Amino acid sequence: MQNAAAVVTDHGGRTSHAAIVSWELGVPAVVGARGATQLLKEGTTVTVSCAEGSEGRVYSGVVPFETRQLSWDDQGTLPVALMINLATPDTAFRWWQLPVQGVGLARMEFIINDLIKVHPLALTRFDQVSDPAVREEILALTAGYADLREYFVERLARGVATIAASQYPHPTIVRMSDFKSNEYRKLGVCASATRERFTRV
């Protein structure tokens, strides 16, 4: 999604994964556009607009547009206290200037996938990882750590602290992880080896 100019999905709503992550990355997204993936063929040029009210639009071809810079100071005071959802530490400081009162949701699995890149069981039971390529990858990621568990703890703490610091002194709510395997498929060979080795643990 980081490389996409825009995102269009057949299903989903304003709080769907595609909508939230696209917003955080600054990528225009139109979600829940039924049949969109059948209408939009590979190579078709479209313009995706999210600046025309509460519903996004997908136009055929290249539509001319103008860019205007808005200031939050000119928008007045909101009647509610808003919080922001953040997925990764990398994007935390992109949005720190938004007029929000903290982080309403920071998901731990995103921090583990993007910052740590190793399933915790592969770190706590490294001696049971038999695949040489996986062992080499883990050792490369954890270089400088005598205790592989410290790598996990320190990187996770750094990730949560980075997200929290972007909205200090407002609160940050972190959703803990139960380490379901489907949420860690992006961990590559480390994840696949971990699932195979530790599925019964």
d(CA 175, CA 180): 14
Q: In the sheet that 172-175 helps form, which strands lie side by side, from edge to edge?
A: 84-86, 103-107, 172-175
Q: Which of 11, 17, 119, 170 is catalytic?
A: 17
Cβ proximity of 155 and 80 under 8 Å = no
Q: Does the annotation count 17 as an active-site position?
A: yes
Cβ proximity of 101 and 175 under 8 Å = no
Number of H helices, E strands in the chain: 8, 7
Residues recognised as catalytic: 17
